[in-house]
């Protein structure tokens, strides 16, 4: 982000937004431009300390155009989705005054002021972990703060939705539902919080970032093809998801892990079945993803009730939700037995909440080598070193937030923070 010239003022705001992972998937739009979905979806928000986007937005009379930098590299803002978000926020901007700093911006002046936006993810963008959800949610929220937008979170979620559908769910922490809405203008297609992050503290989330050389079909084009060609998608959206969402809400309310896990796994599998039902078929999961599903299914079966839920988005990474820490530690042992690190030490092979390693009794690579074979698997002799790039251990987390600490702002420009 460039610094202002000639001592002109710069006004800025910084926000941090988490990523989210859907346990009832959004797949298919009924309106491409407004990004209106064909069904409701439900997600869990991941702890922003482990997976989040931080965005600083700034305005200054010295800026001559709108510009954006993602992870330090300038990117174009000309796309329709960025333009929708900028337009919708500018429309709602209000008068702003900071007497001490001598800055006064009238509602109508915001149209003439250009913005500079710098965004950074605390996880690799290429890992395919819903970076656009966190990014658009953060952009909309932070621009809203800067421009003194008074709209509530529901309204902000419907603007973030126009950047990327799943972004609307990143506004809130905990468990979130995106209500598809009925109106043609999309004003009722908003996210609501079902329960906050403190509601179900036992859950532990382990993400296996699966190595993949294959170029994936983007969610946007994949779901467009599904809407056009998959009869299963019609059935899913009209018949399966409505009752599944109600059951999921019950499961969350009652902290009923058995029901939660069954619904989560079934919905992930049906989403990938829709992908196969698409013409041409879309393959997001790979052999490693299938191996992880098989491990979890066999373990759950042996225990007689689910210990772990799995879900996969538009890529091969596994998101595993364990019912508690003890289960998560056991899960980690099983995963590391089959997928030991290749050329990596343990502390870079598991990132995020590393304390799970000591819960699992894993202090060194020797401990990993000494792990016993998981009893539920029939074939023990094969290991898949290198098939998982790394693991992330996380938990449920808070929603979007203002970053008050100016040292966290992604700019060296003259600082003039708001509020
Ligand atoms: C499989 O929100 O990335 O992750 O609205 O076209 O930007 P666009 O798609 P996007 O799709 C996410 C699809 C999913 C499921 C989900 O997050 O619900």
Question: For the segment 319-334, what is each residue's pLDDT rounded down to a tens digit?
Answer: 999 999 999 999 999 9
Residue owning the nearest CA to atom 4 of ligand 1: 313
Contact 392/51 with Cβ under 8 angstroms? yes
| Same structural domain, 145 and 212 | no
3, part of any domain: no
306 vs 408: which has the higher pLDDT: 306
Q: What spacing in Å lies between the alpha carbon of 220 and ligand 1's midpoint?
A: 7
77, part of any domain: yes
Q: What spacing in Å lies between the alpha carbon of 331 and ligand 1's midpoint?
A: 27
Q: Which residue out of 79, 219, 272, 313 has the highest number of ligand 1 atoms within 8 Å of its CB and is therefore the one to mutate?
A: 219
- The model's pLDDT over 74-119, given as tens digits with 9 standing for 90+, comes to 999 999 999 999 999 999 999 999 998 889 999 999 999 999 999 9
Q: Which residue out of 46, 79, 161, 166 has the highest number of ligand 1 atoms within 8 Å of its CB and is therefore the one to mutate?
A: 166
Ligand 1, atom nearest to 43 Cα: 18
Least confident of 2-16, 144-158, 196-210, 322-336: 2-16
How far is residue 218 CA from its own chain's centroid?
15
How far is residue 306 CA from its own chain's centroid?
24
Q: What spacing in Å lies between the alpha carbon of 132 and ligand 1's midpoint?
A: 9
Q: What spacing in Å lies between the alpha carbon of 164 and ligand 1's midpoint?
A: 7
Paired tokens of 374: 């998981």
Q: What is the pLDDT of residue 215?
A: 72
Q: What is the pLDDT of residue 128?
A: 67
Q: Please, what's the b/e burial string for 42-57 (b: 16 or more CB within 10 A of its CB; e: otherwise)?
A: bbbbbbbebbbbbbbb
387, part of any domain: yes
Ligand 1, atom nearest to 41 Cα: 18
300, part of any domain: yes
Paired tokens of 348: 């870079």
Site of tokens 């225990």: 303
Q: What spacing in Å lies between the alpha carbon of 137 and ligand 1's midpoint?
A: 13
Q: Structurally, how many domains does the chain consist of?
A: 2
Q: What is the pLDDT of residue 130?
A: 66
| Same structural domain, 99 and 123 | yes
Residues 15 and 23: their CA atoms lie apart, in Å, by: 26
| Same structural domain, 378 and 254 | yes
Q: What is the pLDDT of residue 419?
A: 34
| Same structural domain, 256 and 136 | no
CA atoms within 13 A on the CB side of 156: 26
| Same structural domain, 341 and 218 | yes
| Same structural domain, 193 and 270 | no
| Same structural domain, 61 and 179 | yes
419, part of any domain: no
The answer to whether the complex's ipTM is over 0.90 is yes
Q: What spacing in Å lies between the alpha carbon of 219 and ligand 1's midpoint?
A: 6
- The beta strands (E) that lie in 124-170 are given as none
| Same structural domain, 183 and 233 | no
Q: How many CB atoms lie within 10 A of CB 35?
A: 24
The DSSP line for 251-312 is: HHHTT-HHHHHHHHHHHHHHHHHHHHHSSS------HHHHHHHHHHHHHHHHHSS-SEEEE-
23, part of any domain: yes
| Same structural domain, 64 and 80 | yes
Residues 155 and 160: their CA atoms lie apart, in Å, by: 9
Q: What spacing in Å lies between the alpha carbon of 253 and ligand 1's midpoint?
A: 25
Q: Is the pLDDT of residue 311 over 80?
A: yes
Peptide bond into 251 cis (omega under 30): no
Task: Kindly state the average pLDDT of the residues 392-409.
Answer: 89
| Same structural domain, 380 and 236 | yes
Task: Kindly state the average pLDDT of the residues 221-250.
Answer: 98
Q: What spacing in Å lies between the alpha carbon of 236 and ligand 1's midpoint?
A: 16
Q: What spacing in Å lies between the alpha carbon of 157 and ligand 1's midpoint?
A: 14
- At residue 192, the 3 state secondary structure works out as strand
Q: Which residue out of 25, 26, 125, 171 has the highest number of ligand 1 atoms within 8 Å of its CB and is therefore the one to mutate?
A: 26
Contact 319/207 with Cβ under 8 angstroms? yes
5, part of any domain: no
Residues 173 and 257: their CA atoms lie apart, in Å, by: 19
Ligand 1 pocket, residues with Cβ under 6 angstroms = 22, 25-27, 35, 41, 132, 164-166, 219-220, 313-314
- Whose CA is closest to 21, among 348, 246, 314? 314
Residue owning the nearest CA to atom 3 of ligand 1: 219
414, part of any domain: no
Q: Is the pLDDT of residue 409 over 90?
A: no
Which CATH number does the domain housing residue 326 bear? 3.30.70.890
Q: What is the pLDDT of residue 332?
A: 98
Ligand 1, atom nearest to 313 Cα: 1
Q: Is the pLDDT of residue 379 over 80?
A: no
Which CATH number does the domain housing residue 17 bear? 3.30.230.10
Residues 85 and 63: their CA atoms lie apart, in Å, by: 19
| Same structural domain, 192 and 217 | no
For the chain, first and last CA: distance in Å? Answer: 21
DSSP state, residue 396: B
Range(s) of the domain holding residue 389: 204-394
| Same structural domain, 171 and 229 | no
């Amino acid at each position: 982000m460039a610094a202002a010239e000639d001592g002109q003022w710069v006004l800025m705001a910084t926000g941090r937004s988490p990523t989210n992972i859907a346990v009832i998937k959004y797949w298919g739009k009924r309106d491409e431009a407004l990004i209106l979905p064909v069904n409701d979806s439900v997600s869990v928000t991941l702890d922003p300390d482990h997976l989040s986007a931080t965005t600083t937005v700034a305005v200054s009379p010295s800026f001559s155009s709108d510009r954006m930098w993602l992870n330090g590299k300038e990117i174009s803002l000309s796309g329709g989705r960025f333009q929708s978000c900028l337009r919708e926020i500018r429309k709602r901007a209000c008068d702003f005054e900071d007497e001490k700093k001598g800055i006064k911006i009238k509602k109508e002046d915001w149209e003439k002021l250009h913005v500079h936006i710098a965004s950074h993810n605390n996880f690799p963008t290429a890992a395919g972990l819903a970076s656009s959800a966190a990014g658009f949610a953060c952009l909309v929220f932070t621009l809203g703060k800067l421009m003194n937008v008074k709209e509530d979170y529901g309204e902000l979620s419907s603007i973030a939705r126009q950047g990327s559908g799943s972004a609307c769910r990143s506004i809130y922490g905990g468990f979130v539902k995106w209500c598809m809405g009925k109106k043609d203008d999309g004003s009722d297609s908003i996210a609501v919080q079902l329960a906050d992050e403190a509601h179900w503290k036992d859950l532990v989330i382990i993400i296996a970032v699966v190595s993949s050389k294959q170029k994936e079909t983007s969610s946007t084009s994949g779901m467009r093809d599904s809407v056009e060609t998959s009869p299963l998608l019609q059935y899913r959206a009209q018949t399966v998801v409505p009752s599944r969402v109600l059951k999921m809400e019950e499961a969350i309310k009652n902290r009923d892990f058995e029901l939660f896990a069954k619904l989560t796994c079934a919905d992930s599998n049906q989403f990938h079945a829709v992908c196969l039902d698409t013409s041409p078929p879309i393959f997001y999961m790979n052999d490693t993803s299938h191996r992880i599903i098989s491990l979890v299914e066999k373990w759950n079966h042996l225990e007689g009730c689910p210990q772990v839920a799995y879900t996969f988005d538009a890529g091969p990474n596994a998101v595993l939700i364990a019912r508690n820490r003890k289960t998560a530690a056991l899960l980690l042992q099983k995963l590391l037995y089959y997928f030991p690190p290749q050329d990596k030490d343990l502390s870079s092979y598991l990132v995020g909440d590393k304390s799970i390693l000591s819960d699992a009794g894993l202090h060194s690579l020797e401990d990993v080598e000494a792990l016993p074979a998981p009893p539920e698997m029939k074939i023990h002799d094969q290991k898949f070193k290198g098939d998982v790039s790394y693991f992330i251990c996380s938990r449920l987390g808070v929603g979007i937030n203002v970053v008050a600490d100016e040292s966290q702002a992604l700019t060296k420009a003259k600082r003039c923070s708001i509020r």
